[in-house]
Amino acid sequence: MIIDLRDITPWLQEAFQVVTRLGLLRQNWDTYEAEAPNETARGLARKVLMNMGEVELRPTRVDASAEGGICISFVQGSRYADIECFNSGEVLAVTSSGDGQPTVWEVPATEFDIQSAVAAIQTYLNK
Amino acid sequence: MAASAKKAARRALYWVMSTLVWRGPRPRAMLRNGRSLDPLFAPHEMLYLRCTLEGTETITAADGTPYRRVRPAHIHFPDQSVNRQKYSRPWHVLLPSDDERSQSWILYGSAQVPVSGIPPAQQSAGNVRFEFTVEHDPLDDNFGHAELRVYKSGQRERDKRRINAVVKKTYRQLLSEQTRIALEPLV
């Protein structure tokens, strides 16, 4: 995917730069043998971020996942949500209000399904 | 105290203890010294794991109280190493071992989770049952070492690729929600 950073909002530019920097992580970056995010995970993360950019859904944080990949997360009061893009090519999303009943679902890596996951997170955070 | 002063103080404390008191990288109480494995865990026993500044976040609990926890993305699964409160102090997980990579651990933080906070068993969509447990796994230089393990249909599963992705993520989310910071991370 080729993205012209000049055409996107500052927070999204910054998020893309974080994704690029995460590619420089070494293996075992967390001291518990975590794998560094690979190009598959970084490509998926960019795709998810582009969708978030379209609806101005700004994540709280973009960083590496201990399970190998990139996690794009949101914290709003007691509400938490994230989309994790794994090195394996899997994408999973979660929403949770900390009451012991998180909602977790697999997100097929299609434009439609990613858009739907982003919309579900936006709805959850704006409840 | 400024972050740089806190780092210097922690390094200095470690130097004093390892050089003048323990005369080695770890206190003698951490060593196995022929002790037998202890399979019994009380529900209120705390389990300690290392964390970084980046790996923690402040969030509001369901009852409205803010707390700091290990972020779900920073939870490993399966076979996360932890240290048992019964045989360890929170800072024991920061002490370097013979492995050179462990030299920077002293500036990390320590998070805790009670044994009762280990997520309950889950059933995958394909009706496979996953059970989660903590098991004592003593090492020669760390008697309090234990592991958070998973059993798939009654058999221990070590290969994360053989664990249902939704089960795995649900477990990591639930465990994260039970963690609290015991010792502040400085890096």
For residue range B33-90, list pLDDT tens digits in order.
999 999 999 999 999 999 999 999 999 987 889 999 999 999 999 999 999 999 999 9
Q: How many CB atoms lie within 10 A of CB A106?
A: 16
- Contacts of residue B161 in chain A, CB cutoff 8 Å? 88
DSSP B114-162: EGGGSPPPEE-TT--EEEEEEEE--BTTBTTEEEEEEEETTEE---GGG
How many Å lie between the alpha carbon of B142 and the closest alpha carbon of chain A? 16
ipTM over cut 0.95: no
Contact check, Cβ <8 Å, A30/B55: yes
pLDDT class of A3 with cuts at 50, 70, 90:
low
Count of other CB atoms within 10 angstroms of residue B140? 11
- Band of residue A69 on the pLDDT scale cut at 50, 70, 90: very high
Alpha-carbon distance A60 to nearest alpha carbon in chain B (angstroms): 10
Mean pLDDT of chain A, nearest integer: 93
Distance from CA of B51 to the nearest CA of A (A): 8
Chain B residue numbers touching A62 (CB-CB < 8 A): none
Dihedral through CA B132, CA B185, CA B74, CA A21, nearest 10?
Answer: -170
pLDDT tens digits for range B74-131? 999 999 999 999 999 999 999 988 776 777 899 999 999 999 999 999 999 889 999 9
- Judged by CB atoms closer than 8 Å, whether chains meet at B61 and A78 is answered as yes
Note the pLDDT of residue B67. 93
Distance between CA A105 and CA A26 in Å, rounded? Answer: 29
Q: List the single residue in A with minimal CA-CA distance to B96.
A: A31
By DSSP bridging, strand B180-183 and strand B155-156 are: unpaired
The string of DSSP codes covering A76-126 is: ETTEEEEEEEETTS-EEEEEE-SSS--EEEE--SSHHHHHHHHHHHHHHHT
Partner-chain residue, chosen from A33, A61, A104, that has the shortest CB–CB distance to B173? A104
